[in-house]
Structure 1
């Protein structure tokens, strides 16, 4: 099992935003990224919302950093850690747009992109962006197939109901031969979508027991990632045993990767917590620095 970091600062959700994050910015975020990178954590995250209606922001928060710009900067400050969009809403983008923009990110980061992708649920945001909402599930399924067809090639071709393209050139594109797609969701359909069209599942809004039940009923492909998050931020310095139990409980539930936030009073405390988490995690079998990046054709970096 690997451990990634749910990035601080980039998401201003009222239920999880720490006081120190309110005045923090790119300097503090880069400090966290560099520390997590040096310690061998698996990934950092960044969510996507384009424009959150004011009344919805009171519940979900209104601060959401753009993942492409954020990860582009952090790629230059790190060398190993992966970048996980958590999640891109498929209905907001044409597959070729994702392939070009995030394929470029994969190139400049040396093949460290993990695309977290989802159907989306905020109808008001769909309306603001002029994106169809009613058939978003069917559109998302086709978008995933189209995205797989165009993510890692300069001459993609796809013919479907919603998306149709050929005789086009997309360069640069992703240098990973197969960019991992982790599919977000909280339904059995989202898990089926993940097992048939993706490489991993990012459940949210479920109890651990509900997640376990759904996983037990599913047939997971070999190498499929199950990415689970603790219900609250971990405090390895202050609550060692609780931290170990939270990690081990998710491993027992089927997690191949845990993505977690840590509690902190400031950026230095946050980095100290990362060091403590790194020291504790091997006790429950968590691995660091052990998962190689995908084999990449060196010539692809010149495309």
Structure 2
């Protein structure tokens, strides 16, 4: 059975969001992509006060300048598509008020006919937390837990009631409801995060950093799920941060998914052999414009399917 393939929507500076997002979404679905994805980067500190991912001295990439709001971006793709799932990978949940986030996701799912996938995370940028003013960085894990609780309550049957630290909902009708239960996916890069995922989420959203590392994490997650008695399977959606080049990259320092289409397909085949459900390609950051993004996305998709993956 072929793996499912997805594509990131254009959010970098070189794109015209209102024009290019619907165009790329429509084209990607026509090519055959089964899911479309957005990410969240709320701001770009200048001068930088913190390294990328919190790593001292690591600069933020220019593609993080001016990233549009993720749910607005997905909304632009709703009426341009009919079948593709619409996902966040990831939305930094503690930057948002839990009730309003739950209501927005529920509304988007209703509008799309049940196609939203809520990939949630805690983020790492201190500047973003300070700007959002919703929660402290130190409490990000607890806040994510409450966001999940509020979402489950708001998306559930009326009347909705909820009593938490951040949100308090007296008996109320909260509509529109999602067209179907919205799956929540989480990263799982620590024992605590994996435990949250196994106990509270439908799926796992890792980044393809290499076959051995991904395989090890997947085995750890499966072992933990068995240990904790999880009965339902864990959906897997792997983010592929591809660095496409027209010609083959022949340097000894080649990283996974760096190079031409043949090299990207070769790397995907190795990662898919682990037994994961779905991969989506992040190609938009390095494309010159929407036309190049569509062309490369089509070439990659056709090559993957031709390889029988």
1:208-240 alpha-carbon deviations (Å, 9 max, x no partner): 422321211222554422222334235699734
Residue in 1 that maps onto 2:56: none
1:43 aligned onto 2:24: no
Q: Decide which of 133, 152, 168 is 1:148's aligned counterpart.
A: 152
Residue in 2 that maps onto 1:282: 305
SS of structure 1 residue aligned to 2:185: strand
Q: Structure 1 residues 234 and 249, CA, compared in 2 at 3 Å: closer, same or farther? A: farther
1:115-171 alpha-carbon deviations (Å, 9 max, x no partner): 110112112221222222212112212321232222244432233444432312211
Residue in 2 that maps onto 1:136: 140
Does the 8 Å contact 1:47/1:65 carry over to 2?
no
**Structure 1 unaligned residues grouped into runs of 5+:** 13-21, 287-303
- TM-score of the two chains, using structure 1 as the length reference: 0.80
Q: Decide which of 89, 99, 102 is 2:102's aligned counterpart.
A: 99
1:168 aligned onto 2:172: yes
Q: Decide which of 54, 59, 69 is 2:46's aligned counterpart.
A: 54
Does the 8 Å contact 2:265/2:300 carry over to 1?
no
Q: Decide which of 174, 180, 183 is 1:180's aligned counterpart.
A: 183
Displacement after TM superposition at 1:206 (Å): 4.9
SS of structure 2 residue aligned to 1:203: coil
Residue in 1 that maps onto 2:6: 4
SS of structure 1 residue aligned to 2:243: coil
RMSD value, Cα: 2.7
Does the 8 Å contact 1:229/1:259 carry over to 2?
yes
Q: Structure 1 residues 278 and 235, CA, compared in 2 at 3 Å: closer, same or farther? A: farther
**Structure 2 unaligned residues grouped into runs of 5+:** 53-58, 249-259
Does the 8 Å contact 2:186/2:205 carry over to 1?
yes
Q: Using the TM superposition, name which of 140-149 and 75-84 deviates more.
A: 140-149
Displacement after TM superposition at 1:96 (Å): 1.8
Q: 1:60-99 alignment to 2 at 5 Å?
A: 60=61, 61-99=64-102
1:42-99 alpha-carbon deviations (Å, 9 max, x no partner): 2111222333322349615222111222221211111111111122222122332112
SS of structure 1 residue aligned to 2:5: strand
Does the 8 Å contact 2:98/2:146 carry over to 1?
no
Distance in 1 (alpha carbons) for counterparts of 2:7 and 2:138: 33
Distance in 2 (alpha carbons) for counterparts of 1:96 and 1:141: 13
SS of structure 2 residue aligned to 1:45: strand
Residue in 2 that maps onto 1:245: 266
Residue in 2 that maps onto 1:224: 234
Q: Structure 1 residues 183 and 11, CA, compared in 2 at 3 Å: closer, same or farther? A: farther
Does the 8 Å contact 1:186/1:205 carry over to 2?
no
- TM-score of the two chains, using structure 2 as the length reference: 0.78
Distance in 2 (alpha carbons) for counterparts of 1:186 and 1:205: 12
- Count of aligned pairs: 275
Residue in 2 that maps onto 1:272: 295
Q: Structure 1 residues 127 and 77, CA, compared in 2 at 3 Å: closer, same or farther? A: same
Displacement after TM superposition at 1:285 (Å): 4.8
Distance in 2 (alpha carbons) for counterparts of 1:264 and 1:51: 21
Does the 8 Å contact 2:204/2:235 carry over to 1?
yes
Distance in 1 (alpha carbons) for counterparts of 2:160 and 2:239: 35
Residue in 2 that maps onto 1:197: 200
